[in-house]
Structure 1
Amino acid sequence: MGLLQQKIGARLLYWIMCLLAAGAIILMLYALIWEAGNIVNLPNKRIGFYNFCLWNQTTGELQCLEFKDLIEMGIGQVGMVLTRVSVYFVQVLCLFSPFFIMQAKCVNTREAWEVNLVVQGISVVLLSGGLSLFLFQTRVWIQCSELSWGFLALVGAQALLLLQLFAAAAYLKWFKPGPSKGSPPPEKQLPPLKV
């Protein structure tokens, strides 16, 4: 009965990882494509990975600042580039994540599941690091009450990626390799040599 429960648990974890990957893809696409990466999206303020627009009192409209203006305001150029690269790279990893999961399931080797675990770990670290660095650099201009649905979608994607990482680690813990295609069944294999 223990082997059957283990197989059912492993299959359930596989499907949970696929669902979590799909959810993370949807949330990342919503935050970075639909919301254009904007963390704050208000009529008088738009701050995101590619936008930094503040209300100009004299003209009565949003004024989008350029990179040189951001440097004068104390926002580092390297930090902004790192946040963009890390967050958008996670989106690419999320898009390929289901393929890593399916490939690991088809190949069914420990190494394939370890690669999947590493990819999930990289995604979690890059998204949390990029989002934290962005919030740290723009903390003067962003209030908690101003955060948009795009920010909540990124936080939700981070939670799903973390759950997917835990599911992949649990799957690796329960991993039992199946017999390879060219090998005889276990009952016909020779016993190990005793020295």
Structure 2
Amino acid sequence: MLPREQAGTRRGLLQRRCTGHLLCALTFLEAAATLALMLYALLWEAGNLVDLPDKRIGFYNFCLWNETAGELTCLEYSHLQVMGISLPGIALARVCVYGCLVFSMFYPIFVAHVKRTEEREGWKVILIILIIKMIMLSGGLGIFLFQTSQWIHPSDFTGGFLALLGTQALLLLQVLTATMYLSWAKLTHPCQSPFAEETLPIDI
């Protein structure tokens, strides 16, 4: 093989390996950011989407300002039912959103396993998991907001809600990254790991 062709082959192999490692690193960074935002919204903010001096509404709190007492009063489940809020609906919203958090906690471990085994089918599973997480988070938020929209104005949302919106955006970005990886992996030899060391041509 001519020296020029050999150098071009080496550059192509190096670029292919770098692209694969870059996509994997990006996946881990996005997963870490997603988990951090969910921990902030659901644990640090205790699941509160609205946390104002006169109103605190979240997955486990529904507190409104009591003019008589001059303080926030947290309503019981019986009061919420009288107000027309469906308790099964709120419970389903909790399961969806906090279930997404559980998925996010174990997701990096699964990605690391797929990266170690270098199986293309594993990335297809990763893509499915990400889509499920997006559906769970958007579904849980949608159900909750539908039940409580009468008491929440768009300007009321605070850090917890914004963090969950950021989480949804990062999940979409992860879906795009996984899709890019699968498209890139199709260009590699089907019987060879994308990150395996390939034998470079030797001058004779």
Asked if 1:66 corresponds to 2:76, the answer is yes
Partner of 1:50: 60
Corresponding residue of 1:173? 183
**1:121–1:165 contact (8 Å) kept in structure 2:** yes
How far off its partner does 1:110 sit? Answer: 2.1
Does the residue aligned with 2:149 lie in a helix, a strand or coil?
Answer: coil
Match in the other structure for 1:148: 158
Counterpart in the other structure of 1:137: 147
TM-score (norm: length of structure 2): 0.84
Identity %: 52
Deviation of the 1:108 alpha carbon: 1.2
Aligned positions, number: 182
Which amino acid letter does the alignment assign opposite residue 135 of structure 1? Answer: L
For residues 77 and 67 of structure 1, the distance between their equivalents in structure 2, rounded to whole angstroms, comes to 7
Q: Deviations over 1:36-72 (max 9, x none)?
A: 0000001111000000001111111111111221111
Give the TM-score taking structure 1 as reference length: 0.87
Read off the aligned partner of 1:130 and give its amino acid letter: G
5+ residue gaps, structure 1: 187-195
Matched, 1:96 2:106: yes
Q: Which runs of 5+ in 2 are unaligned?
A: 1-10, 200-204
For residue 193 of structure 1, what is the aligned residue in structure 2?
none
Contact map agreement 1:108 1:178 (CA 8 A) in 2: no
Calculate the aligned-residue CA RMSD, in Å.
1.7
* Structure with bigger gyration radius: 2
Show structure 1 runs of 4+ deviating over 6 A: none
Taking the TM superposition and a 5 Å limit, the aligned residue runs for 1:72-111 are 72-111=82-121
